A and B are shown apart, each in its own frame.
Chain A
Amino acid sequence: MNLTLKIWRQKDSNAKGQMVDYKVTDISEHMSFLEMMDVLNEQLINSGEEPVAFDHDCREGICGMCSMYINGEAHGPDRGVTTCQLHMRMFKDGDTITIEPWRATAFPVIKDLVVDRTAFERIQQAGGYISVNTSGNTQDANALPISKHAADEAMDAATCIGCGACVATCKNSSAMLFVGAKVSQYALLPQGQVEAADRVRNMVAQMDLEGFGNCTNTGACEVECPKGISLDNIARMNRELIKASVSD
């Protein structure tokens, strides 16, 4: 199929960017969206132009690197997939596709479609862990009884790959689905209880410091999340923060 692409081009973080039109031809419907971008970049390199910079790594939907806002939706029009898992069969011959970077003050553009998502890492560092002595006397995890239900819910929360689609798609650029998932995966397990109050307090404080917006429960994040992280995790984070504040 032949397509027109409208892509955000920005030389570096300080440059003023703009949308630029490109044509690609003979795109197979079996290609992934990133393979289509590879074809465009080869075309650009062959004609001596600067290729479009975009994040990608595993290309199998697990690393959380790819991050494109395609036709007004994070990771494009398909559900439960990252950009690398999006297939060109979702588009029609002759389509015009708009491709933009994640837009959020807390995710500044580095170049073209690449944004700086280290804000997520700083939130993780603020409390998204448990302190365990790993000196050789580590207790077997199975020694602590955990209900199947809690284990499943914690695992569901832990499937968040931190891609930032929740922030990108939220009209408020809120990071609450991400932080809610990271708080929940520990809050649901006995290992997470000891540091639970400090964890939620510190992670929420860091989230606010990074300049993410406030959740207004539109639910857009849950729909666009490639891993299907539930809005219930945001409610749980809110509960955890209330609990932590009451126990002060």
Chain B
Amino acid sequence: MSGIFNSSIGRKIAMALSAFFLMIFLLQHFVINSLSVINPDTFNEVSHFMGTNWLIQYIMQPVLIFGVVFHFIMGFILEIKNRRARQISYAKNNGAANSTWMSRNMIYSGMVILAFIVLHFIDFWFPEINTKYIQGDMSGMHNGEFRYFHELQEKFLSPARVAAYVIAFVFLALHLLHGFTSAFQSMGSTAGRKKAMQNFGKAYAIIIPLGFIIIALYHHLNHH
């Protein structure tokens, strides 16, 4: 079994497995974020649970960070190897004749998403780690009420931040438009080639990032 992950196909399988994991995470993140629009109290409670539950914090969170880091490092490794496989490029190449822009530019859409993750960590993750594990305040409270919803709204006051998030989500959609069905193919399944699955993939790739965009805009326009 060890041999397979040293092969080109093995690397693709690893890429697909981490992609599936991240797509499931994205769905979960989206569902929780939606609560901030539907019901701020529930959003606060779920946020507090996610931020203090030991299974989420000490098991799932490290696994997630590993998944993200693994996916982008493997992406860069594959890109470098693939560039080495053609050292002299064509004088004229008509890529649009046979493939989608999304499929040919996964590295660039991925790099935008990576830059977004750095911004997102600076915005939310580092302050959270600071409050909980450096200052030791696990209460989740500020001035006698849960702080999560207020913190979220404060972040989305800045139009520049909202714009950056919207742009990143557009690139996320482009990344997913190819990535969703591509992951099936790498796993050896032809499911991603079936019309129904392609439509489902398109729906996922558009609905989730669009949902994130709507949530960001909603909080920007509706801060109290």
> A interface vs B, CB < 8 Å?
6, 8, 19, 69, 71-73, 77, 98, 100, 103-106, 169, 171-174, 176, 201, 204-205, 207-208, 211-220, 223-224, 231-232, 234-242, 245-246, 248
Contacts and interface: CB of A to CB of B under 8 A. Distances in A.
B9 A103 contact: no
Given A172-B82, A172-B85, A214-B11, 7 more contacts: A100-B90, A100-B91, A103-B90, A105-B86, A215-B9, A217-B181, A231-B193
Contacts, number: 142
A166 to B, nearest CB: 11
A207 B181 CA distance: 25
A68 B144 CA distance: 73
Given A214-B81, A238-B9, A245-B1, A220 B185 contact: no
B94 A71 contact: yes
Nearest to A72: B94
A216 B98 contact: no
Contacts of B3: 201, 245, 248
A216 B82 contact: yes
Given A204-B8, A232-B193, A246-B1, A103 B88 contact: yes
B82 A224 contact: no
Contacts of A248: 1, 3
B84 interface: yes
Contact of B82 (A72, A214, A246): A214
Contacts of B143: none
B220 interface: no
Contacts of B78: 214, 216
Nearest to A225: B98
A41 to B, nearest CB: 21
Contact of B98 (A104, A173, A220, A240): A220
Contact of B103 (A100, A103, A216, A235): A216
A205 B82 contact: no
A72 B188 CA distance: 30
Interface string B33-58: 00000000000000000000000000
Contact of A71 (B81, B89, B92, B100): B92
Contacts of A239: 188-189
Most chain B CB neighbours (cut-off 10 Å) among A73, A218, A239: A218
A106 B85 contact: yes
Give the dominant DSSP class at B's interface: helix
A19 B91 contact: yes
Q: 10 nearest interchain CB pairs?
A: A72-B94, A213-B85, A239-B188, A238-B188, A172-B82, A223-B98, A173-B85, A245-B4, A218-B103, A213-B82
B85 A72 contact: no
Contact of A242 (B8, B106, B188): B188
Interface of B: 1, 3-4, 7-13, 78, 81-82, 84-95, 97-100, 103-104, 106, 178, 181-182, 185-190, 193
Nearest to A77: B97
Contacts of B181: 217
Contacts of A205: 7
Nearest to B181: A217
A171 B188 contact: no
B182 A216 contact: yes
Contacts of A237: 9, 188
A98 B78 CA distance: 30
B156 to A, nearest CB: 35
A219 B85 contact: no
A7 B111 CA distance: 36
B3 to A, nearest CB: 6
A73 B4 contact: no
A72 B92 contact: yes
16 contacts: A19-B91, A71-B92, A98-B91, A176-B9, A204-B9, A213-B8, A213-B85, A216-B78, A216-B182, A217-B182, A217-B185, A224-B98, A238-B186, A238-B188, A242-B13, A248-B3
B99 A223 contact: yes
Contacts of B93: 72
Contact of A235 (B86, B90, B97, B185): B185
Given A213-B82, A232-B190, A218 B8 contact: no
A238 B95 CA distance: 25
